[in-house]
Chains A and B, each alone.
Chain A
C-alpha cells in the first residue's frame, strides 16, 4: 500500500525552529517528486515547497523562501522540511504529497498531515 506518514509537528514559539518528516512506503520513493502543502485552520490549501526526485531541484513559495528548507533522504525513503524563523502565520497542518517522476504533475498521494502551531 502506498503511504505517506508525517511527523514532527509541535507547538513552538515565534522565531523558533522545527523539522518535519514524511516517511514514504509502498512505492520507489527515489523515483518521485515530493511536495509540502499546508492548510491553516479553517482555510484552503497552500503549496509550500517541491523537491525533485534526486534532490537536485528545489522550489519554494515566496511566503517561506529563505526560512524553510526541503530535503530528502532517498536511502531512508524520507522527506524533510526544516522550518526556521517561524511566525504565527505559519500555523497550519502540513501535508506531504507525492507527485510524478518530474516536476509538473498533480499530487496523487497525500499524507494525513502534522500540525505546527506557532504561539507564545
Chain B
C-alpha cells in the first residue's frame, strides 16, 4: 500500500500571501495524484488531477506540481474562501487508492 504523508498538518497564512502544501508518497506514483478541497460541512471537491491539471472551475491561483514521490499544491494569493482541509490522493498503485491525512488551511 502506498502511504501518502501531507505536511504541515495545519497551515496559517495571511490573506493575499502564498500557501504551499506538501504531499509525499512512500513510493513513486508517477503523476497519478489529485488534490481535493473540503470545506466545513461539505463533500470533497477535486481541484487538481494528474498532479498539475486544474479541474474545471478551479481558480487559476491554485497550481499543482511534482511527480514521483514529491508533490506540492500552491495557492498564489490566499483568499478567505480558501479556508478548508486539503487532501492529496494517489491513484497509480491500486487497490487501495490512498489519501493523505489532510492539511488544514487557516487564515492568519
Listed in ascending order, the chain A residues whose CB lies under 8 Å from chain B are 35, 37, 44-47, 50, 59-62, 95, 103-108, 110-113
Listed in ascending order, the chain B residues whose CB lies under 8 Å from chain A are 32, 34, 36, 38, 42-46, 49-50, 55, 87, 89, 91-92, 94-102
A106-B46, A113-B43 as given contacts; A44 in contact with B102, CB under 8 Å: yes
Q: How far is the CB of A88 from chain B (nearest CB, A)?
A: 21
Main secondary structure of the interface of B (DSSP, over half): loop
Main secondary structure of the interface of A (DSSP, over half): loop
Bound-complex Cα distance A113 to B41 (A): 10
Bound-complex Cα distance A68 to B68 (A): 32
For the complex with contacts A45-B38, A50-B95, A50-B97, 11 further pairs of A-B residues with Cβ separation under 8 Å are A37-B44, A44-B99, A44-B102, A45-B87, A103-B94, A106-B46, A107-B34, A107-B89, A108-B55, A112-B43, A113-B43
